[in-house]
Amino acid sequence: MSKTNINFIGNRNIALIFSAVLSIVSIGSLAVRGLQMGIDFTGGSLIEVGYQQAADLTELRNTLDSSGFADATVQNFGTTKDVLIRLKPHEDVSSVDLSARVLEAINKTTKEPASVRRVEFVGPQVGDDLAEDGFLALLYSTIGILIYVAWRFEWKFSVGSIIATFHDVIVTLGLFSMLGLEFDLTVLAAILALIGYSLNDTIVVYDRIRENFRQLRNKSTEEIMNISVNETLSRTIMTSLTVFLVLVSLFFLGGEVIHNFSIALLFGVVFGTYSSIFIASPAALLLGISAEDLMIPVKEGAELDDRP
């Protein structure tokens, strides 16, 4: 069976320039437009209604949209007969009045009237706390990655993995900013999952690089990295393709509630695969990684241990 021999490392400058442009555009969009935060972070109202028969969510969304509640999120809650409606804060309207207006709107076009099960208000302070906790989760996971990779491999690899992971997160967030997609807790969960996925791919490549550094003594650092990336390429593509197919199914069949979750992971998996090939290894190379950094240290006096 023939082995792949693509010069990934030799074309690293093109990839790094491409990634730099993507990152700058993403950061610029985040700075200018920001993220469209969902009710989980901004606060708002939760209205749970019930029906005797299965509810038509598409019809409910269209009704609310035409009634001035275009920002409403509609999903089943528990069963197909129970519906949870999330609304962002409306100025000068109390949660009680808001729920009455929503109930009046959805009962105009349905044969069976809906009954209100509960109405809750999520204050902006709760949203701020969730946003802060989400940021801390990203920060702690990043610190954990640094510590793990530095202990498992070498600090230059650790920094390289963080650069690759940050690249994936920033570009994914930039996509949400540019497209105006809602950023809620499900998307935050997708970002955290993306960090783990991207790191896993990078670790596989780094592990092969370390093995080849110790075995291929007569080749340069760039050649060893290129060989290692090619050797792990089939595994990387197969893993990414499997995950991608699952996410496509979730996007089309999972319902409105997890669309943005699916989009975040779909986009993140593509760039996570790209970064593990074109960003992680070149970043470590730019930091001056060499075979000497990964050689097993020789124990002083080891030759004496073998004597009888």
Give residue-wise pLDDT tens across range 170-184: 999 999 999 888 888
DSSP annotation of 257: G
Strand intervals (E) in the chain: 36-37, 44-50, 73-77, 79-87, 115-122, 182-183
The whole-number average pLDDT for the span 75-102 is 76
Q: Cα dihedral sign for 207, 208, 211, 214? A: negative
C-alpha to C-alpha distance for 269 and 44, rounded to whole angstroms: 32
* β-pair partners for 182: 36
Quick one: pLDDT band at residue 91, thresholds 50, 70, 90? low
C-alpha to C-alpha distance for 18 and 28, rounded to whole angstroms: 15
Query: CATH number for the 9-36+126-294 domain, one of 1.20.1640.10, 3.40.350.10, 2.40.420.20, 1.50.10.10?
Result: 1.20.1640.10
Query: Where are the chain's structural domains?
Result: 9-36+126-294, 44-122
pTM: 0.76
pLDDT, greater one: 29 or 60? 29
C-alpha to C-alpha distance for 11 and 280, rounded to whole angstroms: 14
Mean pLDDT lowest among 16-30, 132-146, 221-235: 132-146
The answer to whether residue 266 scores a pLDDT higher than 80 is: yes
Q: Which two tokens stand for residue 282?
A: 């070149």
Give residue-wise pLDDT tens across range 41-75: 777 777 888 888 888 888 888 888 888 887 787 87
CATH of domain 44-122: 3.30.70.3400
C-alpha to C-alpha distance for 176 and 37, rounded to whole angstroms: 10
The answer to whether residue 18 scores a pLDDT higher than 90 is: yes
- Backbone region of residue 36 per phi and psi (left: phi > 0; alpha: psi in -120 to 50; beta: other values): beta
User: Do 9-36+126-294 and 44-122 fold alike per CATH?
Assistant: no
The answer to whether residue 235 scores a pLDDT higher than 60 is: yes
